[in-house]
Amino acid sequence: MTRAVIIGAGIGGLALAIRLARQGVKTIVYESSEKAGGKISERNFDGFRFDAGPSLLTLPEMVLELLDADLRFPIRKLEIITKYFYPDGTKLSAFSDVTKLAAEVSEKLKVPKDKVTGYLRKSSVVYDLTADLFIFGSFHRIKNLMNLKALKTVLNVRKLHAFSSLHQFNERELGDKKLVQMFDRYATYNGSDPYQTPATLSVISHLEHNLGAFIPEDGMFKVTESLYRQAVRLGVEFHFGEPVRKVEIADGKATGVWLDSGFIQAEIVVSDVDIHRFYSRLLPDSKRLAKLNKEERSSSALIFYWGMKGISAELDVHNIFFSDSYEEEFDYLFRKKEVFDDPTVYIYISSKYNKTDAPEGCENWFVMINAPADVGQNWDEIIERSRTKIVEKLERMLGKKLRDNIVNEEILSPPDVFKQTGSVNGSLYGSSSNSRYASFNRHANFRKDIAGLYFVGGSVHPGGGIPLCLSSAKIVDGLVKEQTLKIKNE
């Protein structure tokens, strides 16, 4: 029986373990931490439960298709995806229904409805042109470029808007400053800067508004929990607290991995760890590492998990409190490598729909600001200063005292992200997309020169975020099927 070793039990590793097991491949997963899930984890303290990482799900069918019927879980489509608060007091509800969203924008911002509907039609076109090649397939293989769909993408390259920044495109298409800021925010979904990243990223707004934004009724950690249970059911063998130390290569083939306890033979080796970490520790390669180090790292996050006394009726599940100087905020993040004094604040309150996530009369506030990658900043000072600024901002914009309502607190900083997930510099998405060539520079899901070595997860093609990590697993599953068939025919 063919044996596969997967290094890391993040979302990509779990998804691939399920797929390989269904192929009949003996699959073993080694995870250095004590639990599965990577960034999709949870925190529990003093009666409060928090989704510790991602807080929203798009393309939920990519998770559900991996699960047996009895392991599938209820998923709720959000009517209001996000509630936006602007410094001048404007409040805007971003409805998932495009017609309602256009009406809301027309009423609150006095922007014609067709500005929104037209924009989302164009983002739908971008998705249709890019999905098969850049999301669900590997353009690193020549055969994937030699078909009618790829030709259609090339012939319609102008519709991808790759030669404008997302901000430039939004200004041109939407005009209104507040609406532009709202759609600029989608660059942060993969840790990038809307003033630099190509407008092709407008595709993210299509996923949310045209296809829908969802949340598992029991919280985002249900994704990890269900995938892990499915893998175990299929016979996948998990070893937690057992880090892989080295990948062994012989005669141009992956032959297994080294643990502290010895060598584990395998015909297939898959890395679900940060690609920088892979080439610095597991398969040292100074040339590849030097190339990777030239790429700009994505942003990170500074998160405060607050147990809050009281119920805030004016807030929804997802809430954004915008900065008054968005461009300057991103300049701080990517050029100065600092946290801006007036950061945009994101608040996720899962207890709005799952009452058991907080004690009665309380709420669980996941409070996040974008932070730069960790390059040795004084994080103790940044945390203290940022906490003060966040509280002052929220009190000012909500018009009420909050600091005395924080009954308990935990904090996650960029150095913590690195310690807990292995993401180099604490960058949540590996490399940023602050270049029109970023997608092409991402590491492929395979090595042409090493048979049996594959890569999944957010730091390789197609990128970070739950759908893309799941897609990386589906791509590698197809590659392994080809390898297995080739071996049988030899």
CA distance 127 to 329: 28
Task: List helix spans (H) across 24-79.
Answer: 61-64
**CA 150 from centroid of its chain's CA atoms:** 26
CA distance 466 to 40: 9
Three-class SS state of 71: helix
State the greatest distance between any 2 C-alpha atoms of the chain, in Å, as a whole number. Answer: 72
Peptide bond into 198 cis (omega under 30): no
**CA 187 from centroid of its chain's CA atoms:** 11
Q: What is the mean pLDDT of the chain?
A: 93
More confident position, 446 or 490: 446
| pTM, full prediction | 0.93
Name all domains of the chain by residue range, CATH numbers in brackets.
3-40+221-296+436-489 (3.50.50.60), 98-209 (no CATH)
CA distance 55 to 346: 11
- Could you tell me the two tokens for 329? 């905020």
Average pLDDT over residues 453-469: 94
Cβ(191)–Cβ(39) below 8 Å:
no
CA distance 247 to 254: 7
Three-class SS state of 358: coil
Query: pLDDT tens-digit profile of 256-275?
Result: 999 999 999 999 999 999 99
Query: pLDDT tens-digit profile of 432-453?
Result: 888 876 667 789 999 999 999 9
Provide the pairing of β-strand 345-348 with 318-321. antiparallel
Q: Where are the beta strands (DSSP E) in 201-338?
A: 214-216, 237-240, 246-250, 253-259, 262-265, 268-271, 300-309, 318-321
Query: pLDDT tens-digit profile of 143-171?
Result: 555 555 555 565 556 677 777 999 999 99
**Predicted confidence band of residue 243 (pLDDT cuts 50, 70, 90):** very high
Query: pLDDT tens-digit profile of 94-122?
Result: 999 999 999 999 999 999 999 999 999 99
